[in-house]
Structure 1
Amino acid sequence: MLDLRGQALQTAIAASAGSAYLLFGYDQGVLGGLVSQPSFLNAIGKPSSSFLGTIVALFNIGCLGGCVIAAVWGNYLGRKRTIIWGCVIMIIGGAIQASTYGSGQLIAGRIISGIGNGMNTSTVPVYVSETSRSTIRGRSLAIQMNMVILGTVLAYWLDYGMIRNHTGEVVWRFPLAFQDFFALATVLTMPFLPESPRWLYSHGRKEDAIHTLSRLMSCAEEDPTILAIVEEIEQAIAVEKLQAKFTVRSLFHDTTEVKNPRRIMLCFMIQLFQQFTGINVIAFYVTIVLEENVGLSKETSSLVAGFVQIAFWLGTFPPIFLLDRLGRRKVLMLGSTVLCIAMILFTTGIALKTSASANLALAMLFVYEITFGMSWNTVPWLYAPEITPLNIRHIGAAVCCFSEWLWTFVIAQMTPPAIANTGWKIYLLFCFMLLLSIPFVYFFIPETSGKTLEEIDYIFVKNWDGRRFGMSDATGSSVEMEQKQDDPSE
């Protein structure tokens, strides 16, 4: 294991986990640019458009399976091993896809890759959250989501470049094989990084956990900051042990004091609202939207779609610097407000079907992509591992991802016929859901910014009294310790 400390260690974790998340974005986007290529269609038996759509969407079914695996075995395997196994499975799936000589083989490769991706997307946010300072946790996850969209942009432009400059099967085999590069990067680097200190502590490896914390914080193991974090972890574990065991039944009959079922439900609902912003209509079918709804030619649509993806990626940069300052609630509500206005104007533009209204719709498409990248793109992935306690954090993150892939599959299946049969009217659904998301965030989403993962527990604990669990104010909050450590004037 490399003896990295402080910022160098944080950067190494971000890079290794980021490669897995870049693969997440790449794998989502790579097939979308290839489905119209004759050599690709010939290799998989010239499927009908509906069957082809199913092949593309089956990746999400694999992801659902990966989420279940992470929920059931993730806590046993640990954060690192779950990510490594997820990437190994994706390497196998990528190899099967790249060597495809039939639709059955492609389906198998897509589902296998999806399983690995489901494991990764359930675990990477947890690993990054548990190894980040509370004061920069939002920034750390925002960087990961930036990598996701960078992967999507890279996939789109690689497809575009291969189609424009090459012929034959290499046009699609190389992009499908290239996804394994990112998985290999994570598999080769992750073993040299430390396991999550919170996972180590919860599994009785206290000395390893304290040593890892000292490396992450770049201070001695006896430092007051380390002692404060350890005390908070112990208190959180003490609270969790006094509660009834989490079961599926408890989702419908909540008797726990720490409100675990409510937290799990929030993990599911926040991703539902993210998907019903309409983002995957744009992400999966942007060229169809530009052709059918905006009225651009096929060639122009392909080029403009690439710049729409770049706009999306650029929108993911501001959260890196602002998410920890503004907080989760403000970012979501401001994002919903702007997204709702942009979606209403976009819908109006395509409904009027004039030259001026088409330009308005195109402009709003760019506003929408940038705003989504700045708001709803990042926060849901961060929020699930933040609000779930240590003993079920892997379940909360997996439920969040399960919701993501479930609704992604639903939207991917319903969009083509919805656009064909209803035209602009389908976007009214997303306008309504965006409007509804504002009161949802205001009334149900508590603020978590600036709090340690253990302190967030106490937001949900009913009638919290720290003295019941031996909580002491002697060392002070680890958040305050971290802020003082970051502030040279202290």
Structure 2
Amino acid sequence: MYGFLPLLISKALPRPTYSMTTHFPQMKERTGRWLSERHARRVQPKDQQLPMGEAEEQTVRAQYGNRSPTASLPVVSIVLVFAQKQYKLADHSGLSEEKQAIHQVEDSKAAVTDKEIKAVNADFAAALGQNAPNPWGRGHVALYCCCLVVYLCSTMNGYDGSLMGSINALPNYLRYYNVSENEQAGTGIVFAIFQVGQMTGALFVWLADWKGRKLPIFLGCAGVMVGTIVTATAKTLAIFIGGRFLLSFFCTWATTAAPMYIVEIAPPLYRGTVSGLYNTLWYMGSIIATFAVYGTHLHFTSNLDWRLPLWLQLLCPGIVCIAVWFLPESPRFLVATDRLEEARDFVVKYHANGDASHPIVNLELNEIQHNLRDVPLASWSNFFDLRILVKSRSRRYRSMLNLAWSWFGQFSGNNVISYYLPLLLTNVGVTDTNTVLLLNAVYALTGWIAAAAGARFHDVFGRRKMMLGSTFGMIICLSITAGTAAGYVNTGSKSSSDASIAFIYIFGVVFAFAYTSMQPIYPAEVMSNEMRAKGMWLFQFTAGLASFVNTFAAPVALKNIKYWFYVFFVFWDCFEFLFIYFFFVETKGRTLEELDEVFEAKNPRKASTRKVVLRRQEIVDVEGSRNVSRVDQLS
């Protein structure tokens, strides 16, 4: 309910409006008249066209001056279009006066071709132009390799979720610890302790501000390895639960710092894709876990069928522990700790592919320095001061989005399916253990494909459209699943059972397409640099709380109300759809620093969807063989 606080106080004074100069509208009017007259002369039959007489020439000169009319014709004009007047046009969002120059031409016989490019960051559009860094240049490829190492942090959550869901269907595991697969005091607490550890571990995310993003990633992965050893060797259920607490406690350190690191080092032009891929590796961990359990159950009849998959949980965090020391530090952390030369070297090497003269270098560094000028991240005084999350209207709005998305990502029906898919399959008549394990593995594989595709499309369609489309799709899938599951329970229909299974899988694909890739990334994007570490604590705590609620309650609900549990999530997802539509901002195409202007607007959601239109008008000669003039203007 705290998410609605920013809504109640969001009415602020209107932002000042800015009017454009009249110079360019006059130029465009003169140009339009000249083009109309010229077109009228051209469309006449050739034998009826008359040469321009002295009187006509004097008339034209009176309208356009002694210059050739073509000399005033805009050739490359950059037009900033805003949907509302109450949006503050920041200095870094416009074009400098140097770009408002008119370049004279030699040839007066010209036609006009128009090209439009839509963008939301005019500064980057002007700086990059046709000279955007090659996404497959040496620096970018090296950066992708760095990201790939950090992506492995995401596998830890996916591995645990699917591992516990799979071994919970194994008779040897249930018999060894004397628990039932749908017992609240047994299975429920074994699953829910992970969320308790997650919420507790989130209290230590300030380490990312104190010592940088890399140290908590290393410590977190090392702690996960310790927790894994405890669970894999546990003789009693109490020790097993304690090991899972350690595992989740340290896992949170790594999985909080990792998305912060990815968001901060990702190239601005491809941040949605590069950072969105991070959480898709949740499914890589899930696939490893589910197929490991499936394979061990086929080939072992002893307790090794569930102990070996537990030991395999050492793999990915072990790789990260070794490789993380070879990664560069976040440039934003470097700037915050006054290591400006190192930050500049990072941007030159990884974002400009080694070209120190590329305009993106100074542009990025200036924005980062301006944003962090008065707020150094590494300060003991602000580690536990959470007032920074709520002390202004814009900060409260950011925190509201963080809270909402953190809860939505874990409480849309997805977590129940992830942990309890075997039990869901049992409820619709699938009881063979091998079949259940195989279907669990296939669920993870299809989800990974959808999540990887969705990570790319977030930079194509934008965050809001993807979230809204996915939420609507989940509503449809859960509605049909509830209906078909009810049909199976009431009639025993095989076709109803098959339909339920199909739509459970479709739900997983729809959820993964938009939600999975953005779960830890969107909260990091909407937080300002000074808020990001504490914002990610808020994300982890809220997500853990949501997971705890539905994970602990799910086995009881599935046992007692069965398909009505789906109906509950249908109505909840309808609420999510409306909330996303009215409040969520679009972050596609903006630098992290530029989002500050969005949240300062009277209506951040509307401000985030305004477009900057870059209209390129090129004058070519009549034969279309060459450009003959150019104008860069602001209108």
Q: 1:43, 1:425 → 2: CA distance? A: 32
Q: Which amino acid aligns with 1:67?
A: A
Q: Contact 1:272–1:403 (CA<8 Å) still a contact in 2? A: yes
Please identify, of 55-64 and 323-332, the stretch whose mean Cα deviation from structure 2 is larger: 55-64
- Confirm whether residue 142 of structure 1 aligns to residue 276 of structure 2: yes
Q: Which amino acid aligns with 1:232?
A: E
Q: Contact 1:90–1:117 (CA<8 Å) still a contact in 2? A: yes
Q: 2:513, 2:227 → 1: CA distance? A: 32
- Confirm whether residue 446 of structure 1 aligns to residue 585 of structure 2: yes
Match of 2:164 among 31, 34, 48: 31
- Confirm whether residue 337 of structure 1 aligns to residue 472 of structure 2: yes
Pairwise CA distance, 1:43: 5.1
Q: 1:223, 1:250 → 2: CA distance? A: 35
Q: Contact 1:267–1:384 (CA<8 Å) still a contact in 2? A: yes
- Confirm whether residue 381 of structure 1 aligns to residue 517 of structure 2: no
Q: Contact 2:201–2:250 (CA<8 Å) still a contact in 1? A: yes
Q: How does 1:73-472 map to 2 (within 5 A)?
A: 73-217=207-351, 218-238=353-373, 247-248=385-386, 255-256=391-392, 259-292=394-427, 294-299=428-433, 300-353=435-488, 354-462=493-601
Q: 1:234, 1:458 → 2: CA distance? A: 16
Please identify, of 31-40 and 442-451, the stretch whose mean Cα deviation from structure 2 is larger: 31-40
Q: Closer, same or farther in 2 for the Cα pair 1:357/1:36, shift >3 Å?
A: closer
Q: 1:37, 1:367 → 2: CA distance? A: 25
What is the TM-score of this pair, normalised by structure 1?
0.87
Q: 1:100, 1:301 → 2: CA distance? A: 26
Q: 1:398, 1:101 → 2: CA distance? A: 33
Q: Contact 2:416–2:550 (CA<8 Å) still a contact in 1? A: yes
Q: Contact 2:290–2:437 (CA<8 Å) still a contact in 1? A: no
Q: Contact 1:83–1:119 (CA<8 Å) still a contact in 2? A: yes
Q: Give the structure with higher Rg (CA).
A: 2
Q: 2:190, 2:474 → 1: CA distance? A: 30
Q: Closer, same or farther in 2 for the Cα pair 1:68/1:422, shift >3 Å?
A: same
What is the aligned partner in structure 2 of residue 17 from structure 1? 150
Counting helix residues as a fraction of each chain, which structure ranks higher?
1
Q: Contact 2:167–2:173 (CA<8 Å) still a contact in 1? A: yes
Q: Contact 1:332–1:379 (CA<8 Å) still a contact in 2? A: no
RMSD over aligned Cα atoms: 2.3
Pairwise CA distance, 1:166: 1.1
Pairwise CA distance, 1:276: 2.3
Q: Which amino acid aligns with 2:440?
A: A
Q: 2:458, 2:374 → 1: CA distance? A: 29
Q: Which amino acid aligns with 2:153?
A: A
Q: Closer, same or farther in 2 for the Cα pair 1:112/1:274, shift >3 Å?
A: same
Please identify, of 212-221 and 103-112, the stretch whose mean Cα deviation from structure 2 is larger: 212-221
Q: 2:496, 2:314 → 1: CA distance? A: 43
Q: Which amino acid aligns with 1:331?
A: M
Q: 2:469, 2:156 → 1: CA distance? A: 29
**1:121-160, CA deviations, whole angstroms, 9 ceiling, x for partnerless residues?**
2111110010101221111123222211121121011011
Q: Which amino acid aligns with 1:27?
A: D
Matched-pair identity in %: 25
Structure with the bigger RCO (C-alpha within 8 Å, sep 6+) is 2
Q: 2:259, 2:273 → 1: CA distance? A: 12
**1:53-112, CA deviations, whole angstroms, 9 ceiling, x for partnerless residues?**
212221121111221111x33211211111011001111111111121222321221111
Instruction: Give the ranges of 4+ consecutive aligned residues of structure 1 lying more than 6 Å apart after TM superposition.
Output: none
Q: Which amino acid aligns with 1:170?
A: L
Q: Contact 2:220–2:254 (CA<8 Å) still a contact in 1? A: yes
Q: 1:310, 1:436 → 2: CA distance? A: 29
Q: 1:327, 1:30 → 2: CA distance? A: 33
Q: Contact 2:155–2:285 (CA<8 Å) still a contact in 1? A: yes
Pairwise CA distance, 1:298: 3.1
Q: 1:350, 1:36 → 2: CA distance? A: 20
Q: Contact 1:138–1:324 (CA<8 Å) still a contact in 2? A: yes
Q: Contact 1:43–1:100 (CA<8 Å) still a contact in 2? A: no
Pairwise CA distance, 1:398: 2.1
**1:18-41, CA deviations, whole angstroms, 9 ceiling, x for partnerless residues?**
222122211222232223545545
Instruction: Give the SS at the match of 1:32.
Output: helix
Q: 2:149, 2:246 → 1: CA distance? A: 22
Pairwise CA distance, 1:220: 3.5
Q: Contact 1:343–1:368 (CA<8 Å) still a contact in 2? A: yes
Q: 1:221, 1:82 → 2: CA distance? A: 31
Q: Contact 2:191–2:552 (CA<8 Å) still a contact in 1? A: no
Pairwise CA distance, 1:415: 0.7
What is the aligned partner in structure 2 of residue 485 from structure 1? none
What is the aligned partner in structure 2 of residue 483 from structure 1? none
Q: Contact 1:13–1:128 (CA<8 Å) still a contact in 2? A: no
What is the TM-score of this pair, normalised by structure 2?
0.68
Q: Contact 1:271–1:404 (CA<8 Å) still a contact in 2? A: yes
Q: Contact 1:388–1:457 (CA<8 Å) still a contact in 2? A: no
Q: Contact 1:131–1:197 (CA<8 Å) still a contact in 2? A: yes
Q: 1:112, 1:305 → 2: CA distance? A: 26
Q: 1:321, 1:192 → 2: CA distance? A: 27
Q: Closer, same or farther in 2 for the Cα pair 1:37/1:427, shift >3 Å?
A: closer
Pairwise CA distance, 1:462: 4.6
Q: Contact 2:266–2:275 (CA<8 Å) still a contact in 1? A: no
Pairwise CA distance, 1:211: 1.1
- Aligned length, in residue pairs: 454
